[in-house]
Amino acid sequence: MTDRSDPVAARTSKHRTPRRPNFPGQIVLVLQGGGALGAYQAGVYEAMHEFGAEPDWVIGTSIGAVNAALIAGNARPQRLPRLVDFWARMEASDIQPDLLQFFTGVTNASANLATIFRGLPAFFEPYGPAWCGSFVPLGVEAAAYYSTAPLRSTLSALLDLEHPDARQVRLTVGAVNVRNGAMRYFDSRDERVTLDHVLASGALPPVFPAVRVDGVPYWDGGIYSNTPIEAVLDDNPRKDSVIFAVQMWNPEGPEPDTLWKVLGRQKDIRYASRADSHIARQKQIHHLRHVIRELSRRIPQPERRSADVKELASWGCGTTMHIVRLVAPTVDGEDQMKDIDFTPAGIRERWRAGYEDTKRFLDAAPWRTPVDPVEGVIIHDDPRRRSREAVRGVDGFAGKTR
């Protein structure tokens, strides 16, 4: 991770004129929601920045939307320093000695409890009226235990979505319409994305209040789909892509044997949002598109000119999507409150893990390996994850899906 004592000089000195490596298509960075776990995403971006692999498109929900905005909403030389600045402001004070940890065995118990009651000065603060009673009518924009006014102030100082570079990097953030429960992706390709959109994407109820966009209240996109990769795979027109899909909630894990561990395992499964099944389904769909393309090529030329055949052939596709699946590892001592573990040690460890995992992929560059031309979606997993799946007898999407 970047040296916190000198957040700018430690990494940025060798990134002033990065050279973009040769990637087979656009570079897309997809970021889940997960509170403090978002430090892992910052480490992912640092490795990409160091390698010269700046994203063409950044998509996020919740804290992923915040990190995405910090990347897209700054000039290239300022992106990493602004991420460092943001996460430095997110740090909660360590409480030493942690007497609650001594009595409960729960890591960072005192620090996490302090965050719950006091908030984080640069992120959120308790909203008094909501703590007075759950049945007090406050309005959808105030019906929450905390106010995110501090986060609005923090981000206002750290990003500029009107910056010329912001118009070069496509930014998409997901939020849920409170009234009809529909997921909506606000996309800078099609509309102006503002700070309100970013804050709406992170408005997790009942912790944070809804944010209105054009008069409509929106909540955190993570309550509908915490892994917004479908926004890339369903994009139109589709493009060849290398997609860095960053997952901070691991759907795989050991059987929990205590109530505390059950709560943590439940949270992992819920917020993983069936990312693997979404990708598997998209892999099947893209495989069929490639099959249609190959079959249409075998139709005699005179018949190929007919309107009916042209319509059927239009369902075909020749794009290739390489999905680099980055799954945040378990940090020693983490528990079901890991998403509010804003301690300096927790942030530092997750940032480091994101950096090292991504650097390993960038050095290996698996997207350069020849692939079956009929396969439209190629999955690249960390070898450590594949070895765990092999032990459990999980396919890992290595073969064709029929």
Q: What is the pTM of this model?
A: 0.86
What pLDDT, in 10s, does the model give residues 279-310?
A: 888 888 888 989 998 899 899 988 888 998 88
20-42: per-residue pLDDT in tens? 678 999 999 999 999 999 999 99
Helix axes 344-364, 76-90, angle to 10 degrees: 150
Question: Which H or E element spans position 63?
Answer: helix 63-72
Query: Which pLDDT band, with edges at 50, 70 and 90, does 17 fall under?
Result: very low
pLDDT of residue 105 exceeding 60, the answer is no
Q: Following DSSP, what letter does each residue of 126-139 receive, concatenated?
A: E-HHHHT-TTS---
pLDDT single digits (tens) 165-205: 777 899 999 999 999 999 999 999 999 999 999 999 999 99
Show the CA angle centred on residue 369, arms to residues 367 and 372, nearest 5°. Answer: 100
Place of tokens 């378990």: 330
For residue 397, pLDDT beyond 60: no
d(CA 148, CA 202): 9
Pairing relation of β-strands 377-381 and 125-126?
unpaired
> Please, what is the average pLDDT of the chain?
84
- Between CA 71 and CA 53 the distance in angstroms is 13
Asked if 373 and 289 touch (Cβ cutoff 8 Å), the reply is no
The torsion angles phi and psi of 67, rounded to 5 degrees, stand at: -60, -40
**CA gyration radius for the chain?**
22
Q: Is the pLDDT of residue 385 over 60?
A: no
CB 372 within 8 A of CB 391: no
Do 178 and 210 meet the contact criterion of CB atoms below 8 Å apart?
Answer: yes
CA–CA distance, 254 with 330 (Å, rounded to integer): 12
Asked whether 155 and 189 are in contact (CB, 8 A), the reply is no
Tokens read off for 287: 């495989």
What are the residues whose beta carbons fall under 8 Å from the beta carbon of 383, sequence distance 6 or more? none
- DSSP 8-state secondary structure symbol assigned to residue 215: T
Residue with tokens 């999507």: 321
CB under 8 A, 24+ apart: contacts of 259-268: 260/106, 260/335, 260/336, 261/335, 261/336, 263/336, 264/335, 264/336, 264/338, 265/336, 266/336, 267/336, 267/339
Strand partners, 28: 57, 243
31 closest CA partner among 307, 221, 315, 217: 221
Strand-pair category, 321-327 with 57-60: unpaired
- 135's CB contacts (< 8 A; 6+ apart) are none
Please write the tens of the pLDDT for every residue from 53-102.
999 999 999 999 999 999 999 999 999 999 999 999 999 865 555 544 54
**Residues 316, 319: Cα–Cα separation, whole Å:** 10
Helix axes 344-364, 39-51, angle to 10 degrees: 40
Q: Are 263 and 48 in contact (CB under 8 A)?
A: no
Secondary structure (H, E, C), 243-298: EEEEECCCCCCCCCCCHHHHHHHHHHHHHHCCHHHHHHHHHHHHHHHHHHHHHHHC
238-285 pLDDT tens trace: 899 999 999 988 878 888 888 878 888 888 888 876 777 778 888 888
